[in-house]
Amino acid sequence: MLSKKTKYGLKALSNIARKQSDSPVLISDIAEEENISRKFLEIILLQLKNSGFLGSKKGKGGGYYLLKKPEDITVADLIRVLEGPIALLPCVSLNFYEKCDDCKDEKTCSLKAFMIDVRDSTLEILEKRTLADLT
């Protein structure tokens, strides 16, 4: 299951993408429209900014805006930034690999091959879909 942070982040980006306006979108507007705590949303949008998905403008008339076209932002990339690894086990993660400390020998692990299949099948859909697919 996704954390609320990820869910809120996706909803917020979808909200901004839907507007397609020239002027930046206010945190407060997103918070109200999507029923998200304003302060919590601040943290999330800041993270999306620091990860290069959003730009911001301070002061009056400021707000957040997309740095790329929605169809150029994959859901996989967003989930990696907001939630972390997509794989079910750290030892089969492409972007966040870590050795399982209980595994005596990774080569003979009974789960690994299967988990790689699951990962690939998940990536198949998450890397094809983009922000533009989130209405």
Partner DNA sequence: CATTACCCTAGTAATTCAATAGGCTTTATG
Partner DNA sequence: CATAAAGCCTATTGAATTACTAGGGTAATG
Applying CB under 7 A, which residues contact DNA? Answer: 3-5, 24-28, 37, 39-40, 42-43, 45-46, 49, 56-64
* Collapsed DSSP state (helix, strand, coil) of residue 64: strand
129 binds, among DNA, a copy of itself, none (CB under 5 to 8 A by kind): a copy of itself
The minimum distance between CB 54 and a copy of itself, in angstroms, equals: 17
At residue 82, φ and ψ (nearest 5 deg) are -85, -40
Residues in the chain: 135
For residue 110, the partner it binds in a copy of itself, DNA, none, with Cβ less than 5 to 8 A by kind, is a copy of itself
Please, what is the minimum distance in Å from the beta carbon of residue 5 to DNA?
Answer: 5
H-state helical runs in the chain: 4-19, 27-34, 38-50, 75-82, 112-126
Q: How far apart are CA 13 and CA 11, in angstroms?
A: 6
Residues that bind a copy of itself (CB under 8 A): 1-2, 4, 7-8, 10-11, 14-15, 18, 34-36, 75, 84-85, 87-90, 100, 102-104, 110-111, 113-114, 117-118, 121-122, 124-126, 129, 133-135
Which CA distances in Å does 133 have to 24, 45, 88, 90, 92? 21, 20, 24, 28, 27
What are 99's two structure tokens?
A: 């050795």
CB of 77 vs a copy of itself, minimal distance in Å = 15
Minimum distance, C-beta of residue 26 to a copy of itself, in the bound complex (Å): 18
Nearer to DNA, 28 or 121 (CB): 28
